[in-house]
A and B are shown apart, each in its own frame.
Chain A
Amino acid sequence: MNMIQINENKCVGCGYCETNCPHFAITVLGFAKFNADKCEMCMKCLSVCPTNSIRMM
């Protein structure tokens, strides 16, 4: 199950979540892709996303 959900329609691919994720759980290529295995639920990605594209499940 994905704990973090990324809204691909809203995500512009600015990469702030990727560069701020302490666990390298996100890769961005046009839009963010999330790796559930690496996620530690620290919520840093939510606080830096300028387009409100990241949601907690």
Chain B
Amino acid sequence: MSISMSNKLNSYDVIVAGAGIGGLLSAAMLSKRGFSVIVFERLSFIGGRFTSFNFKGYEIPSGAIHMIPNSRGTFAKILRDLGINYKKTDVWVEYMWDDYQKSCNDVFGIFKTLKSKSARWSFAKVIFEIMQPQKDDGISFSEYLNNEVKNDELYRFFEVFVNFSLSLSLEGISKKTMFKILKNVALQGVYLDSQVVPIGGCKGVINGLEKIISANNGKIITNADIEQILVREGKTDGVVVKVGEECIEMKGKYVVSNLGPIKTYEKINKNEYSVTLSKLRKKKTPAGITICISASKDMLGHSGITFTPIAERVCGIVQPTTLDSSLAPKGKHLLLTHQILKNKNIEKEIGIGIADLYKIFPDFDKYCEILCIHSFHDDWPVNYLTQGDDLPNRTQIENLFMVGDGNKTPSRIMTEGVADGVKHVVDEIYASQNKKIN
């Protein structure tokens, strides 16, 4: 969409900075509720790390792996409300050990994905402990497992889960944060029946959101970089956006930033936030690698997540084409792996990941081919902040909100955390607008 706004109304109810999944969800929900919304995206495409590109007939994800956790969660509910279609997976997760493989559909079934009785007992102990009142003893989840649980199988069980869903090592996540996540999962566990694959994958969601935004007179402008978030007396009233060589000031009652916490504070351009910014810059961001594979047959036999403690680096695999065949050419499957980046030597890490594939699928050569391999770290990471370090959606600046994977709701993981944050922001803007009217 082109922009020629010099003579047009340069004022909107809501300005959304960044067209990632957080920004577009916010824009769709707010425009549907009657707000005038404009979205600015610096790149030439929308969706950020939650879309896909057609490459040799395969919908290669830009980050998220065509799957949304928890069919009963906030994200799935938002999609239902917005009329964006998805399919539910037949299993929740499967665990692939060296000589044992079991899938499950709820938290009780998880016990059976562990092979040994001792690991199952240790798991019961952990579940019991997470339900007790917690004091923060400042240790990592790894230290907790090593000192108090002492079960290698269970350690590996949690390791692949955390590698896959948070792109962290067990040393990288605190006991406190992990207990919150596990408690949240356990409390919902009876209802956790499946993951969700949107029709058309991540891009299906993005296309759906784009339609809703334009149907409600919202605008999405690509190749438009936010230069500055305007803040006066602790309150935002708009942005300066650069389109081509032109800088335009846009007025907005509310600004929703999907730029990530660091870029958001950089764009505010006020000395009083320099301490916040320097603290944020010191934080480590989760890094990972995804291998995209084409297969000439169904390699997994189900549509859920396969965790792979059998492998050295690869922690999980999904095959979204089981539910949506349009994501690959006819008769082919698309498999996506995930692994964390354990050190800076990315090529070596990729090599370990590829070697893993032959262990996971002994007939890999016969049926599979690697399409492409993508890494995410530093300026374009898996998440803008480590789970547990997330900043709240509301900022110190009035009417400025942040959404995205640096602002996930505590204890909500992956895109579920993003969507839950968006819901809070939308509800808050809606409530504050109604208060003004009354």
Contacts and interface: CB of A to CB of B under 8 A. Distances in A.
Interface of A: 10, 12-16, 18-20, 28-31, 44, 47-51
Interface stretch (B233-241, B374-382, B418-426): B374-382
B45 A48 contact: yes
B53 A30 contact: no
Interface residues of B, number: 24
Interface string B346-378: 110010000000000000000000001111111
Interface in B165-200: none
A12 B379 contact: yes
15 contacts: A10-B379, A12-B375, A12-B378, A14-B374, A14-B375, A15-B60, A15-B372, A15-B373, A19-B54, A29-B350, A30-B346, A30-B375, A48-B45, A50-B43, A51-B380
Nearest to A16: B62
Contacts of A28: 372-374
- A-B pairs with the 10 shortest C-beta distances? A47-B44, A30-B346, A13-B375, A15-B374, A19-B53, A19-B55, A30-B347, A12-B380, A19-B60, A50-B380
Nearest to A49: B43
Interface of B: 43-45, 48, 53-55, 60, 62-63, 223, 346-347, 350, 372-381
Interface of A is mostly: loop
A54 to B, nearest CB: 12
Contacts of A13: 346, 373-376
B43 A47 contact: yes
Contacts of B223: 47
Contacts, number: 59
Contacts of A19: 53-55, 60, 372
A28 B373 CA distance: 7
Contacts of B378: 12
Contacts of A50: 43, 48, 379-380
> Which of B44, B346, B376, B380 lies at the interface centre, i.e. has the most chain A CB atoms within 10 A of its CB?
B380
A14 B347 contact: no
Contact of A18 (B43, B63, B372): B372
B350 A30 contact: yes
> Which of A13, A19, A48, A51 lies at the interface centre, i.e. has the most chain B CB atoms within 10 A of its CB?
A19
Given A16-B62, A28-B373, A48 B43 contact: yes
A16 B52 CA distance: 9
A44 B347 CA distance: 25
A22 B400 CA distance: 39
Nearest to A52: B379
Given A13-B374, A29-B347, A48-B44, A20 B379 contact: no
A10 B374 CA distance: 15
Contacts of A15: 60, 372-374
Contacts of A31: 346
> Which of B347, B350, B379 lies at the interface centre, i.e. has the most chain A CB atoms within 10 A of its CB?
B379
Contacts of A49: 43
A53 to B, nearest CB: 9
Contacts of B346: 13, 30-31
Given A16-B53, A20-B53, A31-B346, 12 more contacts: A12-B375, A12-B380, A13-B346, A13-B375, A14-B63, A15-B374, A19-B55, A47-B43, A47-B44, A49-B43, A50-B379, A51-B379
Contacts of B44: 44, 47-48
